[in-house]
Amino acid sequence: MILIEAGERTDQGFEAKVHFAAQLSARGHPAVIDDTTLPETLERGGRYEAAPYLRDLTGARIDRLIVVAAEAVAEPVLIRLRQIDFAPEAPVTVIGRFPERQSRISAQSKIAYATGREPQVIDLAALAPAALPGSTGLSAAAPLPDQAAGQVPNLILLLTADALAEPGTLATLLALDHLPSLRLHVVLPGRARDHLKALPFAPARILGLADLAPAALAQLADVAVVAGEGAPSDRLAAIATDVIAGGRTLIDCTMDAAFAGTNAPVLRGPQHLAALPNYLSHTVLPNRAEIARRVAESSWAGLLRIETLETMIGLTAPVAPEPAGTGRILFLPTNGNGLGHARRAMLVVREMPKEREIAFAAFPSCIPMLSAAGYDCLPLVSKSRVHGVEHANDLVNFMRLRRALREGDRLVFDGGYVFDSIHRTILEKRLEATWIRRGLWQAGQITPSALHREGTFAQVIVPEEAFPELNTDLSFGRHIRKVGPIVGDRPAHDAATTRAKLAERLGREFRELVVTMLGGGVAADRTAQMQLLSALCERRKGCLHLTLIWPGSTVPPALYGWKNTLVCQTRNAPDYAAAADLVVTAAGYNSFHEVLYHRLPAIFVPQMAGFMDDQDRRARAASDRGLAVTVAAEELLLLEREVTAFLDGGKGAELRSALAAVDLPKCGNKAAADLVAAEDWR
């Protein structure tokens, strides 16, 4: 292992060594960082960035030490180096931009004393005399991969915080966002990013400076623009340097020409952003190939490439780069006791071409169902109260996804919120990704911040609702693909066969079957409703009440005391529901559409937690058409009357007749699968 250390225990020093570890790791070198040096004050983004390289050095064999940002070497660093057991032959390299000869000698002698060996010293000031302003002194980037033919170039607009306050900035950003010749990514400091995301009109793709590693942000850029006033930050300078070292175009639109004033191969752009769209369209883009060629050939860019430092440090040739993925498609349904996301994903997978390699990454509640269906499954970690920090589980999931996916693979996410682990993996691995996203949100949920990660995905598939008034356009663009409702097949066995098998398995006869599917108790407590239904069925001779639950569901203990009520944990809920005289269910996407498309007599009791879709609106769209009954959670007397009407008043037969006559949209299972499997998503 190659241990990367920094000269000082500062946030700046830690960031410098994470940056260099990432660069060496990308070249195939086993670079690690001592996990005891992780700053307690490190922000969330920094923890994701550092996680792949942190190691417990207890018992580890360190084959090489590289100390970066070594202009000053602090005593805590020297103390820690004395404690580490280096291999006898492990060489030591010190890298810094030393302002004078004495600082160079001081760093060399201190490191020599702490490690017991004479270090090699590399002075970046001699290697590349004019670094970009704000740079910590260490920015070495590998050449970026070539852009695919015909692909729209990515524009990364790096703004300082003050640039957002300038009049006309927002209008310019929106104009750039709608240029068909470019795909805009806006990168801002954290607070400015959050402010922009909250505005009613904001660009589709907004990132914070700490949302991705500098190398990953630079990797997104075909053209990068730096704009604003004031001294650029260390991180911004590192991104800009990586863009140049990768042979891409950097345009300096800062008020004081901070970057163009050096001898770096940088274009001087307009100081006022209002002129930027025309400058890009008529000056930069027509000449982009020639500009990139000259940047790549410049001596400045060549000196700062990682290959140069590899040679100077004496590292052996890197291992062959990680091979591109084979086009494997990884489906990632989010958690949830109802397993709705996983079931919907499985319905899409079932329509995929047989030759495609399909796998899942899923949370524990979903894994048994996916495994039983024969799919390989990468286990993810659920959130827990025992975790030390809120995002601890997502950090682990990020590491697992990062190891499992390679460039060339695809990721399909089915869920409502795009976790950091998903967002970072897609961007860092340059994955083609699809978001299967519900369209029916509650009032107040549709905000710019809720959708700001939509731009991470190459396409967004929206399975529509059965009724037109339920279909709401949350966002617009060619990447939005609408399909019909995704619905499971009607069970193969008829109702009589299913009921006969159920009676045989339970060893009891019944004339009436009531099936309850009211959720797992996480979104809302439905104990009162389930108890009422159990009491009603208890009074009916020959009535069987099945309460169907999923793994992880919360079940009121009192339900087990009713003789006619059975709590059943099953993955075959649609089979039993199709055989029932009455289904009492929540109005989630899957349950709702199965009731309609399978023509089942149902009472909807909507779940209305703040994080869920608008189940009340969905349920009432069906009941207003006479296709179901909707009962609010607090309407217990109405629920009793409606159950009696179904079982004694013939209401179930009326609804079956109405459902048989209604014309519903064509299912979208195959259309969604075709979109996921398509070779070209443009």
SS (H, E, C) 594-631: HHHHCCCCEEECCCCCCCCCCHHHHHHHHHCCCCCEEC
pLDDT of residue 551: 64
pLDDT of residue 449: 58
In a domain, 539, yes or no: yes
**CATH number of the structural domain spanning residue 617:** 3.40.50.2000
User: How much is the pTM?
Assistant: 0.87
CB 275 within 8 A of CB 282: no
pLDDT of residue 648: 92
Q: How far apart are CA 300 and CA 297, in angstroms?
A: 9
CB 73 within 8 A of CB 107: yes
Distances (CA, A) of 23 to 32, 61, 128, 239, 352: 11, 21, 18, 12, 37
Cα–Cα nearest to 284, from 267, 307, 272: 267
Instruction: Read off the tokens for 47.
Output: 């923890």
pLDDT of residue 205: 82
User: What is the domain extent for residue 50?
Assistant: 2-127
DSSP 8-state symbol, 280 = I
CB 84 within 8 A of CB 3: yes
Q: Are residues 647 and 525 in the same domain?
A: yes
179: left (phi over 0), alpha (psi -120 to 50) or beta: beta
In a domain, 287, yes or no: yes
Q: Are residues 523 and 478 in the same domain?
A: no
Q: Are residues 306 and 435 in the same domain?
A: no
Q: Are residues 611 and 545 in the same domain?
A: yes
Q: What is the mean pLDDT of each successive set of 10 residues along the chain, which is 682 residues long?
A: 94 90 88 94 90 93 93 94 91 91 94 94 78 57 56 87 81 88 88 77 81 85 88 79 85 87 86 92 91 83 76 79 73 75 93 92 89 92 84 94 91 91 91 89 63 86 94 82 92 87 92 87 75 94 90 77 90 88 93 94 84 86 96 94 93 94 95 91 62
Q: Which of 313, 344, 368 is the last residue of a domain?
A: 313
Q: Are residues 260 and 363 in the same domain?
A: no
Cα–Cα nearest to 96, from 64, 118, 128: 128
Q: Are residues 279 and 385 in the same domain?
A: no
In a domain, 496, yes or no: no
In a domain, 132, yes or no: no
Locus of tokens 């279909």: 471
In a domain, 197, yes or no: yes
pLDDT of residue 145: 58
Q: Are residues 70 and 104 in the same domain?
A: yes
In a domain, 211, yes or no: yes
Instruction: Read off the tokens for 113.
Output: 């004393």
In a domain, 682, yes or no: no
Q: How many domains does the chain have?
A: 4
DSSP 8-state symbol, 305 = B
Distances (CA, A) of 168 to 175, 274, 448, 655: 11, 7, 20, 57
pLDDT of residue 51: 94
pLDDT of residue 460: 94
pLDDT of residue 137: 52
Question: Reading across the β-sheet that carries 249-254, which strands appear in turn?
Answer: 206-208, 183-188, 154-159, 223-228, 249-254, 267-268
- Kindly give, in sequence order, each residue whose CB lies less than 8 Å from that of residue 175, ignoring residues fewer than 6 positions away: 277
Q: Are residues 465 and 510 in the same domain?
A: no
Q: Are residues 189 and 104 in the same domain?
A: no
Q: Are residues 474 and 510 in the same domain?
A: no
Q: Are residues 172 and 224 in the same domain?
A: yes
Q: How far apart are CA 309 and CA 203, in angstroms?
A: 38
Grouping H, G, I as helix, E, B as strand and the rest as coil, residue 279 is: helix
Q: Are residues 86 and 173 in the same domain?
A: no
**CATH number of the structural domain spanning residue 97:** 3.40.50
In a domain, 163, yes or no: yes
